[in-house]
Amino acid sequence: SSQGNTMKQFMDIFSLPEMTLLSCVNEYFLKNNIDYEPVHLYKDVKDSIRDVHIKGIMYRAIEADIEKYICYAEQTRAVLAKLADHGKKMFLITNSPSSFVDKGMKFIVGKDWRDLFDVVIVQAEKPNFFNDKRRPFRKVNERGVLLWDKIHKLQKGQIYKQGNLYEFLKLTGWRGSKVLYFGDHIYSDLADLTLKHGWRTGAIIPELRSEIKIMNTEKYIQTMTWLQTLTGLLEHMQVHRDPDSQMILEEWKKERKEMREMNRNFFNAQFGSLFRTDENPTYFLRRLSRFADIYMASLSCLLNYEPDYTFYPRRTPLQHELPGWSDQLCTGTFRIPFLQEAVQIK
């Protein structure tokens, strides 16, 4: 890039086809002994994917067979209707074009989907929408034609194109911690809002559903219980230097290594959990903790809570705040409370 960066983060759903295409072309070149410049491969793939979006090829393909690509979500309609019935102001800001949004939302939510939203903005070009003050809103009519009118008010039932967050705040008056904005991309959706504008942010992470399901299996709980027990034993017993103790410690270390690999394979044989690398949080989780106030697998998770429910932040214990393993073992109070709680996660 112009800044000299040589690493690109692949961290959203759009990255999957890009990584797949890069891998397939790279494999073809290697198998056929074709010499190539990796930078050219990356740029060509990136340009191809950009053209698919700009020219509307992807949107037309999905619209032509919408049931194949988009899942009908009855609970999405339910949660939006519940919030609207309780007087919550709702808005939709998307990078997709109006025709695609309209057809998709009619399929997911219903023909009256616009009645649920107070403001609808398409082709917003996030994250530029949150930072560029120069682009005014334009109204889009029922046929998708752009109008010339100067926008003095964002009206319910209308669709607007482009614009910017500063104008949005000015026209709506919605600002600060009273706004909760949901998105599925940490940087494009959430980072600027929480850092620059003080909005509350919620991250949608579909993979969370499968990970929680795995965490609630008996095999995972038993593995994690024994892994933590083994770690505690190693910490406590490593002070013994006699040959017999050292032999046992080596066996425990080998077993602990095997258990850690087993734990990683529960989620993904290549990468492990989305949220944790062994005992350490992944880079994704660190960014998520920085830019999202709350995260969930789907917006429908809100159906489990009343609209006036408050999510209070949990105190995450630091290393020096945790009771020592040796103290627990010596006093006979050894237990693993978080596993007992994890079973209750739904």
The pLDDT tens digits for 269-322 are 888 899 988 888 888 999 999 999 999 999 999 999 999 899 888 877 777 877
Give residue 314's pLDDT. 81
- Are 47 and 98 in a shared domain? no
Q: Give pLDDT, residue 9.
A: 76
Residue 127 lies in a domain: yes
Give the domain range for residue 26: 14-55
Same-domain check for residues 239 and 299: yes
Strand bridging mode 137-140 / 159-162: antiparallel
pLDDT of residue 126: 92
**Burial (CB count within 10 angstroms: exposed 0-12, middle 13-18, buried 19+), residue 132:** middle
- Mean pLDDT, the chain, integer: 87
Residue 93: inside a domain: yes
Q: Does 153 share its domain with 237? A: no
The predicted-structure confidence for 70-98, as pLDDT tens digits, reads as follows 887 779 999 999 999 999 999 999 999 99
For residues 75 and 167, membership in a common domain is answered with yes
- With H, G, I as helix, E, B as strand and everything else as coil, classify residue 288: helix
Cross-strand partners of 277 = 280
119 and 213 together in one domain: no
Token reading at 52: 């698919």
Domain contains 185: no
Residue at 43 is within a domain? yes
pLDDT given at position 2: 58
Question: 49 with 78, same domain?
Answer: no
Tokens read off for 230: 């083994």
CA distances for 208 relative to 30, 185, 204, 221, 346, angstroms: 35, 14, 9, 17, 10
Structure token digits, residue 72? 């009908």
pLDDT band at 172 (very low <50, low <70, confident <90, very high): very high
Tens of pLDDT along 245-257?
A: 999 999 999 999 9
Residue 259 has pLDDT above 60, yes or no: yes
Name the region of 204 (left: φ>0; alpha: ψ -120 to 50; beta: rest): beta
> Quick check: is 166 in a domain?
yes
Banded pLDDT at 214 (limits 50, 70, 90): very high
Q: Do 84 and 156 have their domain in common?
A: yes
Asked whether residue 43 falls in the same domain as residue 78, the answer is no
Q: For residue 183, is it within any domain?
A: no
Residue 92 and residue 79: Cα distance in Å, rounded?
14
Asked if residue 112 and residue 169 are part of one domain, the reply reads yes
pLDDT band for position 343 (50/70/90)? very low
Residues 74 and 170 in one domain: yes
Tokens of 55: 């020219």
How many structural domains is the chain composed of? Answer: 3
3-state secondary structure of 91: strand
Give percent of the chain above pLDDT 70.
Answer: 91
- C-alpha dihedral (37, 43, 44, 47), degrees to nearest 10: 180
Residue 312 lies in a domain: no
pLDDT for the residue numbered 318: 79
Sorted by sequence, the CB contacts under 8 Å of residue 119 that are 6+ apart come out as 91, 92, 154, 156, 160, 168, 172
When pLDDT is averaged across residues 6-20 and rounded to a whole number, the result is 81
Per-residue pLDDT reduced to its tens digit, 188-202: 899 999 999 999 999
Determine which of 149-163, 203-217, 273-287 has the lowest per-residue pLDDT on average.
Answer: 273-287
Residue 96's pLDDT is what?
Answer: 92
Q: What is the CATH number of the domain that holds 84?
A: 3.40.50.1000
What the block records as the tokens of 47 is 């340009």
Q: What's the confidence (pLDDT) of residue 342?
A: 34
Percent of the chain scoring above 90 in pLDDT? 61
- The whole-number pLDDT of residue 91 equals 97
Judge if 229 and 269 occupy the same domain. yes
Position 321 in a domain: no
User: What radius of gyration do the chain's Cα atoms show?
Assistant: 25
